[in-house]
Amino acid sequence: MRGAVIYAPGDVRVEERENPTILAPTDAIIRLSATCVCGSDLWAWRGADATTEPTPMGHEYVGVVTEIGVDVKNIQVGDFVIGSFFASDNTCEICQAGYQSRCTHVEFVGAGGAQAEYLRVPLADGTLVATPGMPDEDLIPSLLAASDVLGTGWYGAVAAEAGPGKTVAVVGDGAVGLLAVLAAKQLGAERIIVFSRHADRQKLAREFGATDIIEERGDAGVAKIKALTGGYGPHSVIEAVGTEQSMAQARRSVRAGGHVGFVGMQHGVEINGEELFFESIHLHGGPAPVRRFLPELIQLIWDRKINPGKVFDLTLPLDQAAEGYRAMDERRAIKTLLAP
C-alpha cells in the first residue's frame, strides 16, 4: 500500500509500505476512506519534535473494516467506522470514567501511520464506533474530523466546563480551536470569544458560533477580554495551541474560579506553582479521550446538525501529503484532507 513517512523536518514521502495485518485477536484492519494532517504533525515537520528514524505519519482515520481478529465482537467486516488516535479497551475503570486516552491498555493507533491506504486498529471493540450505515460522501470530512480535531475541541470545551450562561474564550484559531467554538456553541455557551488574527479563520469561527473576536495578544489581549467581560474575564477558556504564550493567555484571561481546558499539545510550557495557586483557576486537559464523545458526535454529524468538516479547506490526493503539510505550516490551509 501507499503511506506517508517522515524522514526529517520538511521531508514527508509517500512510499510503498507493507500492508498491515492482524497482530492480536482484538485488532481490526480498515481501508481508509479519508485521512488528514494534524496540527500536531507539524511539530515533527518543523523539527520541534525530533525524527530519529523514518516514521509513518498520521493518526486520524475513517474507513471500512476489511478484516477483524477472532476476539472482535462489536465491529463487523464492512462496517464504516471512526476511532480515536488512542486505542482503548473501553472497559477498565479509567475508560468507564471517560478517560479512554489513559486506558490501562492504551496504544497509540498512529504508530501504524494513518496517512495511508490501510490501518491496523488495536482493541477494535473498545476503540471503533460504527456509523448507522454507509455515509453519504459529503459527510466523510465531518466524520473524519470526529476522529481527532472535533473530539479534541469538544473535550477542550467540556474540560473548560463550557455550558449555558457561560462566557467562553478560545485561544487558538487552528482546526481544534475552531471546533472548540462549535463545541462551546453546541454545549449552550452564551458568548464565545475567539483570539484570532486571520480573516478566513475569524469567518469560520463566526459561522461556528463565535460572538466576539480579539486580534490582540499578550497584555493587550488580556486587557481586551477583561473589558469585554465586566472586568472579570470569561468563565471558561479553551487553550488549543500548547505554547508558553498561549497557556499564559488562557490562564491570565480566565476569571478567578474559572476553568481552563487545555488541549494544545504542550511544548516548552512551565507553570509556576505559586502563580497557579493565587490564580485560583481550574486546570484540566491532555490528550482528548475522543472515544467518550464519538457516539454523540457521530449522531450530530449523521443528523446534519453540525458540519465540522468545514475545517478542511484543502483536499489533496494522499500522494501529495507533503504539500498538505506545507500548506498548513505556511497557514495557506487550516487543515488538509488526504484522499487515499
Q: Does 56 bind its own copies (CB under 8 A)?
A: no
- Cα distance between residue 106 and residue 110, in whole Å: 12
Cell, residue 114: 494513518
- Cα distance between residue 242 and residue 264, in whole Å: 4
The residue written with cell numbers 494534524 in the block is: 38
Chain residues 83-102 in contact with its own copies, contact rule CB under 8 A: 93-94, 97-99, 101-102
- The piece of 5-13, 38-46, 214-222, 261-269 that touches its own copies (CB under 8 A) is 261-269
The residue written with cell numbers 453540525 in the block is: 306
Binding residue (CB under 8 A) for its own copies from 9, 10, 163, 286? 286
- Cα distance between residue 112 and residue 56, in whole Å: 6
- Cα distance between residue 176 and residue 194, in whole Å: 12
6: amino acid identity, one letter: I
Q: Give the binding-site size for its own copies (rule: CB under 8 A).
A: 41
Binding residue (CB under 8 A) for its own copies from 18, 53, 136, 270? 270
Binding residue (CB under 8 A) for its own copies from 170, 265, 316, 318? 265
- For its own copies, give the closer residue by CB, 254 or 294: 254
- Cα distance between residue 290 and residue 148, in whole Å: 7
Give the N- to C-terminal CA distance of the chain in Å, as an integer. 10
- For its own copies, give the closer residue by CB, 18 or 277: 277
Find the shortest distance in angstroms from Cβ 232 to its own copies: 6
- For its own copies, give the closer residue by CB, 174 or 242: 242
Find the shortest distance in angstroms from Cβ 305 to its own copies: 28
Cell, residue 211: 460572538
Find the shortest distance in angstroms from Cβ 231 to its own copies: 7
- Mark 221-260 with x for binding to its own copies (rule: CB under 8 A) and - for no binding: ---------xxx---------x-x--x-------xxx---
Cell, residue 333: 490551509
Find the shortest distance in angstroms from Cβ 206 to its own copies: 27
CB 21 within 8 A of CB 122: no
Q: Which of 340, 324, 332 has its CA nearest to residue 38?
A: 324
Binding residue (CB under 8 A) for its own copies from 281, 290, 311, 338? 281
CB 14 within 8 A of CB 113: no
- For its own copies, give the closer residue by CB, 94 or 124: 94
- For its own copies, give the closer residue by CB, 267 or 331: 267
Q: Does 172 bind its own copies (CB under 8 A)?
A: no
Contacts by residues 251-258 (CB-CB < 8 Å, ≥ 24 positions apart): 251/276, 251/279, 251/281, 251/283, 252/222, 253/169, 253/171, 253/221, 253/222, 253/225, 253/226, 254/169, 254/279, 254/281, 255/229, 256/232, 256/280, 256/281, 257/281, 257/282, 258/233, 258/234, 258/282
- For its own copies, give the closer residue by CB, 90 or 101: 101
Q: Does 272 bind its own copies (CB under 8 A)?
A: yes
- For its own copies, give the closer residue by CB, 117 or 244: 244
- For its own copies, give the closer residue by CB, 51 or 243: 243
Which parts of this chain interact with its own copies (CB under 8 A)?
A: 93-94, 97-99, 101-102, 104, 230-232, 242, 244, 247, 255-257, 262, 265-274, 276-287, 289
